[in-house]
Structure 1
Amino acid sequence: MKKRSRVLSVLLTATMVVGVAGCGSSDAASDNAGSSAQETVGESTEAADEAETEEVGQYTVLTDESGNPYDLGGMEIIIADWFSSGEEEEASSAYDEAHQEYLDWIQETYNFTIKQQAVTSWGDSPEDYVNYATTGGDENYVFTLYQGSALTSAIQSGLMYDLSTLDCLDFSESKWDSVVKDTMSKGDSVYAMRAMDHEPTAGIYFNKRLLEEAGIDPESIYELQRNNEWTWDKFEELCKQVQKDTDNDGVIDLYAMTNFSCTLYPAAVYSNGGQFIGKDENGFYNDLESDATMEALNWALDMIDKYEMVYPEDAAWDYTYTAFANGEAVFTCAESYKAGDWADMEDDFGFVCFPMGPRMDHYVNYAQDNVFVIPSCYDAEKAWKIAFAFNLYNEPVPGFEDHEGWKDNYYKSFRDTESVDETLAIMVDSGVPMYDKLVNGIDMGPDLFWGISKDNTPAQKAESIRNTWQSYIDTANGK
């Protein structure tokens, strides 16, 4: 672990005043919590000059009942995922430097190390977690998992530590994602956490060249979004304007849309205030046949019928993305991460939220973020120490509390700043839960999206799966 010697030497020699046990060990801290005043390191350090005192004064030491900093005993904590290198990246900004300074400090002060590291693959991660949580191990893991039936099964099987029992975690703090807390809670128990911004999901990408050739200023779409006027009706107006039969032979030469139905349908539903599965004080319930959901599915189906590109017979399953990249359609509904796949796209593109349905007055996007869990095989002391470290690891960096670090990688993927500063900024704050992912047995593609058509309407399809879904829901609700 790289150290900043000047800062750390001051920290280690500073007089540390007894601090609040904002996190207390399973036994001692709960007795001591709230009994002492929290003070800042360096406030009573006469040996440090004024600049050094100001620098280290940003940090706060949490102490045990004896007035000493909590000691995690040199434990190595791994935030286990399927995508991290485990290596410290070179700092490229003032924030990066401050962040690493802070991480160095907490690890030195509380005697532990922590890093993110790939220990599995995306496909193997659910099974690997279950195996580990069942058999245990000497490692100190916080596991990264994606939402789905495997995650739900692990909770139902008692393989997730109940985080609500760990007094070093306060889920009322603003850093914790409220959607994850909602979806990953059962009664008073909390089984997963996320202290990262919601990852923006589905919106509308548009080809700027094709819009300009149709006489539409691409900036006007951003203007509609800014004015809260980006609606289903406005979107269809643009689709009518851009779709063309250029040689008047009765065959469309330029289509308005190319979409992946498993993205378009849920984006439309949530944009209208609908949902597939709801959740209330009694548990999960089927909301597929609600007016908002049915209206959205019928609208999306009608848009596909009118404006969707017809693919070549031998097209690959993901040709929709290729078609957009090739400029064969003006619009596509896709998730924000797809921008990174279009680095070589010749035409410039923009990105706006999915347009609002008639039942909504604001933009929304569905949330399906990765979550972080602690295996239930750990004893209380070990789980507490891991949670204590993870909580500190996710604290805002002192002096950069308002830093929007999530934007950095998106700037590298998108072609304009509006996509990030305007669209993604809205989406980060407007995620809504997808409860269908928490009900084992429900599989939205084969259950619904792949089967609806003009000849098999959403209402007909919903009726045909009603009883099957109810059986899944009853099981999820413990009936």
Structure 2
Amino acid sequence: MRNWKRFAAVMMAAATMVTGLTACGGNGTAGTSGNGDAANSGDENKVSDVEDVAAGTESGSDDGEIGQYTVLTDADGNPYDLGGMDIIIYDWFTADQEDNEDASAYDEAREEYLDWIQSTYNFTIKQKAMTSWADSPEDFSNYAATGGDENYIFCLYQGGALMSAEANGLLYDLSTLDCLDFSDSKWESSVAQLMTTSDGKVYGMRAIPHEATAGIYFNKRLLQEAGIDPESIYELQRNKEWTWDKFEELCQQVQKDTDNDGVIDQYAMTNFTSSLYSAAVISNGGQFVGKDENGMYYNDLESDATMEALNWALDMLDKYEMVYPEDAAWDYTYTAFANGEAVFTCEEAYRAGDWSGEDGMEDEFGFVCFPMGPRMDHYVNYAKDNVFVIPSCYDEDKAWKLAFAYNLYTDPVPGYEDYEAWKVDYMKSFCDTESVDETIATMVDSGVPLFEKAINGIDMGPDLFWGISKDNTPAQQAEAIRNTWKAYIDTANGL
């Protein structure tokens, strides 16, 4: 019965999501941004006809199970007792959730599960916006340096502030807490790679699927006007034929001088170049900074794969990138695509929320993975997921209890282990099911860490992206910053 319920829930959710995509509408968000519970957002895509999962009130069995839930016990055979702790997962983006009268079966099952773990182990837990994006690093550092009586698990974004916190001893070593098993598949691997040191210490965790980043958006109307079936791009992706060469073929077809005045007025691309460069490098198996088997960082900017990708991206920009007005705002590339001034753009998945709904694009858009480079046989996207940490100012007992609670909080809901809750918010922001069921589904399982985010001092914009051109090639710029990067990387390696 339990397996049937799970199957029915997934099938009903899929059917409801398809129904909800008859128009390109959304609420201005895509993905979870690290909140770990996309389906608890009051979504209209409900699983309404599936029998509720049992609330776990039946008599326990000899193996510690109560209904569908398994009770974890201490050395004396009693359920672990967290002593009534009030735990806050401290972030900048999780709004207070109102009671959802239209909750799906999954929503209700998750609420019942959360109620059960809190009552069984004597604690409360809530994820909540306690700060702003800009203030979150300083808030964490100040708290971790001075301590407090609160019970916080902090969410931090990747970058210099996070790595400074690690270097300054402000992050608790999670590898010392036996309630966490990082071999479990629920832990996001790109975060584990980034936050695990050469001596096996673990300073950050994420038990939420990787949030999809950069792929290729395309304007369906403009493709059709150029004689290209938008569905053909999804077909290329399915057949593992979506490559750099195929992408350039399409750019050649769609770019044109519509009024024959000698000036191109239908451009193939408009891009935020930092996204394009990063996506191109990762798509070719390259990287800017690597991490070896001993956990030591190294400069990989001058590798063949990375140089090939940067040169290809520069060539594509030279041939197909829209020319912007001299007084254009820094984000003109976003509005240019939204206004139908270019057919393609390399952008991150969350941007779909800005382009859908009543205030979004007039045209429907599709979304595919960034095309494969010649050195790859599968699609990848770079990862920059938010990281969850415990401040080192806490003693071992408190840290263990916080980790124990977070582990439970992020476990799959019993009966819904295969339910893809992450799809719900994405489905509200994209115009077609292929964008989510095919593209995003591939991307969430193929995130590659950006190790340069672990190196204090490296700033990819001024260091590389903003300076390379036909007159200052990637190889020339790599040589110019080689010694500077070496100093930064040596420091990160403790040399």
Unmatched 5+ residue regions in structure 1?
1-5, 18-37, 42-56
Q: How does 1:99-138 map to 2 (within 5 A)?
A: 99-138=110-149
Q: For residue 293 of structure 1, what is the amino acid of its counterpart?
A: T
Tell me how far apart the structure 1 counterparts of residues 314 and 327 of structure 2 sit (CA, whole Å): 23
Secondary structure at the aligned position of 2:377 is classed as coil
Secondary structure at the aligned position of 2:134 is classed as coil
Tell me how far apart the structure 2 counterparts of residues 413 and 9 of structure 1 sit (CA, whole Å): 35
Q: How does 1:56-135 map to 2 (within 5 A)?
A: 57-87=67-97, 89-90=99-100, 92-135=103-146
Q: Which residue of 2 aligns with 1:338?
A: 351
Tell me how far apart the structure 2 counterparts of residues 178 and 318 of structure 1 sit (CA, whole Å): 32
Q: Which residue of 1 aligns with 2:186?
A: 175
Secondary structure at the aligned position of 2:488 is classed as helix
Q: For residue 307 of structure 1, what is the amino acid of its counterpart?
A: Y
Higher Cα radius of gyration? 1
Q: Which residue of 1 aligns with 2:48?
A: none
Tell me how far apart the structure 2 counterparts of residues 127 and 9 of structure 1 sit (CA, whole Å): 42
Asked whether the 8 Å contact 1:411–1:420 carries over to 2, the reply is yes
Q: Which residue of 2 aligns with 1:163?
A: 174
Tell me how far apart the structure 2 counterparts of residues 7 and 94 of structure 1 sit (CA, whole Å): 11
Q: Which residue of 1 aligns with 2:426?
A: 410
Please report how far the alpha carbon of residue 63 of structure 1 lies from its aligned counterpart in structure 2 after TM superposition.
1.1
Asked whether the 8 Å contact 1:275–1:288 carries over to 2, the reply is yes
Which of 40, 53, 66 aligns to 2:65? It is 40
Please report how far the alpha carbon of residue 86 of structure 1 lies from its aligned counterpart in structure 2 after TM superposition.
3.5
Secondary structure at the aligned position of 2:237 is classed as helix
Secondary structure at the aligned position of 1:79 is classed as strand
Please report how far the alpha carbon of residue 282 of structure 1 lies from its aligned counterpart in structure 2 after TM superposition.
5.3
Tell me how far apart the structure 2 counterparts of residues 7 and 362 of structure 1 sit (CA, whole Å): 41
Tell me how far apart the structure 1 counterparts of residues 374 and 314 of structure 2 sit (CA, whole Å): 16
Q: For residue 181 of structure 1, what is the amino acid of its counterpart?
A: A
Structure 1 residues 324, 117: closer, same or farther in 2, change over 3 A? same
Secondary structure at the aligned position of 1:10 is classed as coil
Please report how far the alpha carbon of residue 84 of structure 1 lies from its aligned counterpart in structure 2 after TM superposition.
1.1
Q: Percent identity?
A: 76
Q: Which residue of 2 aligns with 1:189?
A: 201
Q: For residue 476 of structure 1, what is the amino acid of its counterpart?
A: A
Structure 1 residues 72, 253: closer, same or farther in 2, change over 3 A? same
Q: For residue 57 of structure 2, what is the amino acid of its counterpart?
A: V
Summarize deviations over 1:138-192 as a string: whole Å, max 9, x none: 1100000001011001001110000000000000011111111111011211000
1:254 aligns with 2:266: yes
1:201 aligns with 2:213: yes
Structure 1 residues 9, 472: closer, same or farther in 2, change over 3 A? closer
Which of 450, 455, 465 aligns to 1:434? It is 450
Asked whether the 8 Å contact 1:204–1:354 carries over to 2, the reply is yes
Alignment RMSD (CA, Å)? 1.3
Q: Which residue of 1 aligns with 2:244?
A: 232
Secondary structure at the aligned position of 1:447 is classed as helix
Q: Which residue of 1 aligns with 2:387?
A: 371
Q: Which residue of 1 aligns with 2:46?
A: none
1:319 aligns with 2:366: no
Q: Which residue of 2 aligns with 1:263?
A: 275
Please report how far the alpha carbon of residue 250 of structure 1 lies from its aligned counterpart in structure 2 after TM superposition.
1.2
Which of 372, 377, 381 aligns to 1:361? It is 377
Q: For residue 424 of structure 1, what is the amino acid of its counterpart?
A: I
Summarize deviations over 1:380-423 as a string: whole Å, max 9, x none: 00111111111000111010000000000000000000000000
Structure 1 residues 296, 9: closer, same or farther in 2, change over 3 A? closer
Which of 256, 265, 269 aligns to 1:244? It is 256
Please report how far the alpha carbon of residue 39 of structure 1 lies from its aligned counterpart in structure 2 after TM superposition.
2.8
Which of 409, 412, 422 aligns to 1:393? It is 409
Q: Which residue of 1 aligns with 2:475?
A: 459
Q: What TM-score, normalized by structure 1, do the two folds share?
A: 0.90
Structure 1 residues 89, 433: closer, same or farther in 2, change over 3 A? farther
Q: Which residue of 1 aligns with 2:226?
A: 214
Tell me how far apart the structure 1 counterparts of residues 398 and 484 of structure 2 sit (CA, whole Å): 42
Unmatched 5+ residue regions in structure 2?
1-52
Q: For residue 228 of structure 1, what is the amino acid of its counterpart?
A: K
Q: Which has the higher contact order (CA 8 A, sep 6+)?
A: 2
Q: How many residues align?
A: 437
Structure 1 residues 84, 220: closer, same or farther in 2, change over 3 A? same
Tell me how far apart the structure 2 counterparts of residues 10 and 245 of structure 1 sit (CA, whole Å): 69
Q: For residue 450 of structure 1, what is the amino acid of its counterpart?
A: W
Q: Which residue of 2 aligns with 1:306?
A: 319
Q: How does 1:15-30 map to 2 (within 5 A)?
A: 15=60, 17=62
Tell me how far apart the structure 2 counterparts of residues 192 and 308 of structure 1 sit (CA, whole Å): 39
Q: For residue 195 of structure 1, what is the amino acid of its counterpart?
A: A
Please report how far the alpha carbon of residue 65 of structure 1 lies from its aligned counterpart in structure 2 after TM superposition.
1.7
Summarize deviations over 1:341-369 as a string: whole Å, max 9, x none: 01221000000000000000000000000
Structure 1 residues 89, 189: closer, same or farther in 2, change over 3 A? farther
Summarize deviations over 1:298-337 as a string: whole Å, max 9, x none: 0000000000000011110000000000000000000000
Asked whether the 8 Å contact 1:224–1:230 carries over to 2, the reply is yes
Q: Which residue of 2 aligns with 1:10?
A: 57
Tell me how far apart the structure 1 counterparts of residues 286 and 193 of structure 2 sit (CA, whole Å): 17
Please report how far the alpha carbon of residue 10 of structure 1 lies from its aligned counterpart in structure 2 after TM superposition.
3.1
